[in-house]
Each structure stands twice: as structure tokens, then as C-alpha cells.
Amino acid sequence: MKKNLSTGSYVYALILIVLSMICSLGSLFYYRFYETEKIDETTNKYHLATILYCTQIKEELLHILTDYSYIPQFHYTSENLPEIDIAYTNKNSIRLIDEKLKVIQLLHRKYNNPAFTGTLNRLTEDYNLLKIDFENHNGRDLINSVDVAHILVHLENLQRLHLKNKNSLEITMRKNKETGIRESIIIVTVILFLGSLIILKILSLIKKNEAALKKSENTLLNTNEFLQKIIDYSTNAIYAIDLEGNFTFMNTKGAEIAGYHVNELISQPFSILFTEKTLPDVYEQFIQCSVHGDTVLSYETVIVRKDKNRRNITFSIAPLYKDGAIESIVGTADDITERKKAENAMRKSEERFRTLISNIPGVSYRCALDKDWTMEFMSNAVFTLSGYPPSDFINNKVRSYADIIHPDDTDQVEKVVLEAVNNKEPFYIQYRIIHRDGEIRWVYERGQAVFNENNEVSSLDGVIIDDTLRKEMEKDLQELNRNLEKKVAEETERRRHKEQLLIQQSKMASMGEMLGAIAHQWRQPLNMIGVLIQELTDSYEYNEFSRETLYETVAEAMKQIQYMSGTIDDFRNFFRPSKESLPFDIGEAVNSVLNIVSIQFTNHDIKIGLPPVEEKIVVNGYENEFKQVLLNLINNAKDAIGRKYHHSIDPEKGGEIELTVSSDNNKVLIKVKDNGGGIPDRIFDRIFEPYFTTDIIKGTGIGLYMSKIIIEDNMNGRLYAKNVTNGAEFTIELKSGVL
């Protein structure tokens, strides 16, 4: 086809050149011969007209002379003289002479010749004198006043000159024809030569144009193939719909989402993909686009696949115009089913977490490390604690949290928090706040700094518990000590009741550490989800995105989300009070606690683990209370290791906590051993006393006391301690089997 096109181009070029040469030759001959003859013929007619007019003027002049020469030959009276007829005849002759002389003058202006000018001027002057004499004397003295012969001589001279020029013109015309033939031959030769050059140039341009055309065709072909690949391998559905609502185009991804083959969808109405519930809304979007020319972006709906399964999608459509009118509709669609599942799972997890936070008696918060303790989040429990709604404290909208801290405790709070942040450890502090009604309340706060990837503090997370009751109990106990002999019996029952409250308060105090543990547990899966999302973006940018990549990424993200959801469930179950004594597996309970705190201990460079338990060991008791005791013992071991190494673990020895579970002679032994330096002899006998602590800032003195009460009073077991090499060992002894 390209060869035929090239040959045709050459033929068309040659035809055009031949036609141009024919036209050039025709024009040449026309202008050289016809136009020259035409011009010469006109000039010749001018000479003939002048000669003719000169003859007619002589006749008219002789006519006048004949009339006047006739008058003196007769004797007549005034009565019989025919003056009127003679005057009329002569005047008419004068008018004719004037008209013909004017014609001669007009012709002379167009073809001016100096040889004619002098004779014509003298003729005109003599004739004007004759005309004046005629008018003044009425022709009676005309012959005597003017020599009419002069005028006749001028007319004859003018005729002779024009006759001479007419004969000369005919000779010149013959010479011009001969010369024109020679010039025409030369011009035709030049035209043929130039035509040959033009042909060569045209052929060269045609060849270049053919090369450029071939290159353009290849480029266009490659572009079309590239665009087709983009459409075929697109991760989104791409389709076209006519104004009747039928598919006219569908790419592979679109057919895959719909569960059909591409050919099955072409010419089918789009309504086959929608239910009776969703179809009216989709039709409305189609009408907005096809009738009103609106563009619809990211409209979310549900389709029904060929296999009757439903998929969540978002689609966008836009009108396609031709000659100013809407011709069809083009659009894209994206399957968001997996994303919707992930969003629903995340929303449910968030709802569970918010429910959990709202049910915690203390105030959960997240704040900035600044002088105002600017709150980013604060649970509703702050209203009960301070009398102010949480919205007052968010971003210091009405007041800052620092505004309600007792002025005498402000410096101490700041000092303790900054010291803990600098050491990258949790902080524990008791201080006073001023309630909205003016009442002074004691609070107990536990929290920890959250660091970003640049090792900078991004926020503080923690919990604030109303400690006023405990302070009142301390005051009451002091009062009891002063009046012990009088009130022992009366206060015994109250003390037991308050001890139960202390158990619950001890749980609340542990929540800060638990929240910190959850923060550590969540950080890794959150980072993993972030990496997965970034990998999706990178794979798309570098054209490495595929269906398998998408499914693998979604599966891994769902795995991380389920892991986070399980952590929340473990946390919720941990603080749910056990209503009755029931059998439970010791190994599973210990592993449940380790699952919550293991990452936190790893971040503190402390090894903690439980060797495999060879057999299932079941005891009867309160599982959640047992977990609380185990958590207290593990946290005490962690604090002891931290004090020993001054928060910098020896890289060679390292911090280590070892847990063992064994069964012997109907007894179950759970041991917690550390290398934190052991318990000083001077305080060994007091470690289980209430409110006794070696850490005035962090400790409350109720952890081991409550642990002993739970194990010995509630579960009929024993809790005791001893020093071992480089550390201490706490033992929980319970009866095995089901009671």
C-alpha cells in the first residue's frame, strides 16, 4: 500500500508539472501574439479613425464654403434670401466638425505622438479662429477673414502622418511575431529546465514526507499499543456506555469485577449489574451525566456479579461529546470490597476500644509535653473527677489541665514527669487538683512518653485515678491508730470493706501500665500496616502493582488488625472481675499476661519467658485476680532490674525475668525470679505490709499487700519470697485440681 502511495504521488506530481507547462506555454503565446496583435490592432484602428474623421471634417468644411460661396453669385433681396436654412445648415456642420475634432483629440491623448501634436494644435487654432469669425459675422465674411486653405492643409498633413504610421505599424507587427517565436522558444526551454528542477525537488520532498509519514505511523502504532496495554492492565474498570444505557466497551478488569467475560457485557444494559434497591440511584447518576452533562465522581454502590455475589464499588462517569452533543458516557470503577471489610473491622475495634476506655473509672488521656499539658484526648471520666467536661481541656479550649492542678503541686508534677521522660520510663505521681466546686481532690497518675522515629516526644499517654478515697482511708487509719483500743472491733469490718476497694484501686493503678503495654503491642502492627500502605503506593508508581500484590497486602493488613483486636480483648478480659471461683489453666493464664507485657519488656532490654509446660495444670480460683497478682510480681521485678542497672541494662549480663510453672504432690508452684539485686535484709520482713514501698514517688505500697490477700485469703494458697543469686524469687503456691 505504501509503495502504491509513493508511485501515485510521483504520477500526480508529473501530471501537475505537465499541466503547468501547458498553461505556461498557452499564456506565453497568448501574451506574445494575441495580446500584441490586439494592442497593435487597436492602434491601427486609431490611425484609421483619425484619417476618416479628417476626411469628414474636410467634407463638412467644404460644405460650409460651398454655402457661403453660393451667396455672392445671386442678387436677391432680404425678402427672398433663405438665411434661416443656410444658418441652420452651417451651424449643424460646425457642430459635426466640433464633435469629430474632439474625438481626434481624445484618441491623441491615449496614443500621444509628438509628430501629431504640432499639426493637431495648428489645426485646432486655425479652426477656432474660423469658428469665431463665423459666429461674429454670421459667415458672411468667412472667406475673406480666414484662409480656409490652411485648415485643409493641416487636415491633409494629419491624414498623411497617420497613414504613414499605419503602414509602419503593420511592418512592426510582422517583426514582432518573428521575434516572439524566438523568445518563446527560449522561454519554453527555461521553463522546461526549471520544471525538471521542480520535479526533482518535489520527488525529494515526497521521499522525505514518506519517511516522516512512516515514522509517524510507527509512533502512532506504538502509542496505540501502549494505550491498549494501559487499559488492559489497569487496576480499575474502564468502560463506555451509549445513551441507551448499553455497554459499548469494557476492559478486562471491569469484566473481572463483574464476574463476566468481556464479550458477555458488550451491548448489555448496565442495569444487569445492580439490584432493584440500588438501580434507581444509579439511573439518577446516569441521567445527570447523559442528559445534563454533569460529571459524577466516586459514587459508591453495590453490584451483583454473575455468580450472585455482591461487591462494593465506586464509579465515576463523564460525558463524551461529538459536534457539541453528548455521544456516549465513559467511566471507571474500583472494587472496594476488601477496603470496606477492613474499615468495618477497624471501626468495630475502635468502638470496642472506646467502650473499654469509657468504662475505666480513671481518666484516660493523651497530652503534649508543655507547660499547659495541652490535651489531645481525654475520656469522659474527667467530668466526674474535676466537674468540667473533657471538651474544656481539648487544645485548651476553655482551660488547660494545668489550671486545675493545685498551685503547691505544680512544680513537683513537672519535675517528676520530665525526669521520667528523660529516663524514658513511665512516671507515677500523686498530687492535688481543685474541683469545680472548690473541693480539693487527690489524684494518682500513671503515664509514659511516646517517642517518634526521630526519638522526640510526640505525646504523653496515661491514666488519672481519683485517689481521694485512699487519702481519706490513710487519715482514718491514722485516726484509728490513735484510738486503737476503743475502735478495733468497730473498724475491723470497715477495714475489710476498704481493702476490697483497695483491690479494685490496685487494678485501676495497674491500668496505666497495661495501657502502656497495649501501646507497645500496637506500635509494631501499626508500623507494619503503614509499611504495607507505602508498598502499595510504590508498586503503583513503579508499575509493579498487580492483583496478587493487592490481595497479599490486604491479607497481611487484616492479620495485623485482627492481632490488635485480640490485644483489646485480652486487656478487657484482664480487668473483668471474676464473679466466682472456677477452674482455669495456669499455663494459659501465665502466657496471657506475657502476651500483653512481652513487647514492653523487650523495649526495656529485659528477657522474660516461660519454659514449655509439659502437661496441662488446672487450679480452682479467680483467674483474673491471679493474673493481676502475676502482673504485680512481674512489674516489681522489672522495677528492681531498672533500679539495679540505673535504667541502663548491662549488655553482657542483661536484665532477665524467669517464670516457671510446676506441679508436685497436689501443689502448683508458679515462680517469678529476677536478677534485680534482691530484697535488702532490713526491709525483707515488711514487703507485704500495706502502704509500705521503697519508691516514694512511684509506689503506692498496696501491690504486694493486695497480692498476698488475693492468693492467701481468696484462693487458699500462699505467696512468699526469698533472695537468690543476684536477685529475688517470689513463689505462688496453689492447690492443684478442681475442688
pLDDT tens digits, 64-110? 666 554 434 333 333 443 443 445 456 677 777 777 777 777 777 65
Q: 3-class SS at 242?
A: strand
- What pLDDT, on a 0 to 100 scale, did the predictor assign at position 20? 57
Beta-ladder partners of 586: none
| pLDDT of 162 strictly over 80 | no
pLDDT mean across residues, the chain: 76
3-class SS string, 31-89? HHHHHHHHHHHHHHHHHHHHHHHHHHHHHHHHHHHHHHHHHHHCCCCCCCCCHHHHHHH
Evaluate whether 363 touches 343 at the Cβ level (below 8 Å).
no
- What pLDDT, on a 0 to 100 scale, did the predictor assign at position 691? 65
How many other β-carbons are positioned within 10 Å of the β-carbon of residue 209? Answer: 12
Q: DSSP string of 617-635? A: -EEEE-HHHHHHHHHHHHH
- What pLDDT, on a 0 to 100 scale, did the predictor assign at position 572? 60
> What share of the chain in percent tops pLDDT 70?
68
- What pLDDT, on a 0 to 100 scale, did the predictor assign at position 71? 39
d(CA 123, CA 131): 12
Q: Amino acid identity of 373?
A: W
Q: 3-class SS at 720?
A: strand
More confident residue, 243 or 580: 243
How many other β-carbons are positioned within 10 Å of the β-carbon of residue 672? Answer: 23
Q: What is the pLDDT of residues 305-333, one digit of tens each?
A: 999 999 999 999 999 998 889 999 999 99
CA 64-89-85 angle, to 5 degrees, is: 120
Of the pLDDT bands very low, low, confident and very high (cuts 50, 70, 90), residue 443 is very high
Beta-ladder partners of 317: 296, 331
Q: What is the pLDDT of residues 378-437, one digit of tens each?
A: 888 899 899 999 999 999 999 999 999 999 999 999 999 999 999 999 999 999 999 999
| pLDDT of 675 strictly over 70 | yes
Which residue, chain included where needed, has cell 532490674?
A: 641
Dihedral-angle region of residue 266 (phi above 0 means left; psi in -120 to 50 means alpha; beta otherwise): beta
3-class SS string, 487-553? HHHHHHHHHHHHHHHHHHHHHHHHHHHHHHHHHHHHHHHHHHHHHHHHHHHHHHHCCCCCHHHHHHH
| pLDDT of 575 strictly over 90 | no
Q: Amino acid identity of 635?
A: N
Rounded to an integer, the average pLDDT of 146-170 is: 68
More confident residue, 241 or 5: 241
Q: What is the pLDDT of residues 722-731, one digit of tens each?
A: 999 889 999 9
The model's pTM is 0.32
Evaluate whether 127 touches 93 at the Cβ level (below 8 Å).
no
| pLDDT of 614 strictly over 90 | no
More confident residue, 13 or 96: 96
Q: What is the pLDDT of residues 285-294, one digit of tens each?
A: 999 998 888 9
Q: For residue 663, which of 739, 569, 576, 732 has the smallest C-alpha distance?
A: 732
The secondary element (H helix, E strand) that includes residue 434 is: strand 427-434
Most confident of 100-104, 513-517, 569-573, 619-623: 619-623
Q: For residue 282, which of 313, 328, 319, 239 has the smallest C-alpha distance?
A: 313
Residue 662 Cα distances to 591, 625, 711, 721, 732, angstroms: 14, 20, 17, 17, 11
| pLDDT of 55 strictly over 90 | no
Q: What is the pLDDT of residues 458-494, one digit of tens each?
A: 999 999 988 888 888 888 777 777 777 666 666 666 6
Rounded to an integer, the average pLDDT of 169-191 is: 57
Of the pLDDT bands very low, low, confident and very high (cuts 50, 70, 90), residue 580 is confident
b/e per residue 289-316 (b: at least 16 CB within 10 A): bbeeeeebeebebbbbeeeeeebbbbbb
Of the pLDDT bands very low, low, confident and very high (cuts 50, 70, 90), residue 526 is confident
* Lowest-pLDDT range of 246-250, 419-423, 448-452, 624-628: 624-628
- What pLDDT, on a 0 to 100 scale, did the predictor assign at position 640? 83
What residues have CB less than 8 Å from 668, skipping those under 6 apart? 586, 617, 619, 661, 662, 733, 734, 735, 736
Beta-ladder partners of 301: 313
What residues have CB less than 8 Å from 690, skipping those under 6 apart? 502, 701, 702, 705
Tell me the three cell numbers of residue 75: 442678387
- What pLDDT, on a 0 to 100 scale, did the predictor assign at position 400? 94
Q: 3-class SS at 185?
A: helix
| pLDDT of 649 strictly over 90 | no
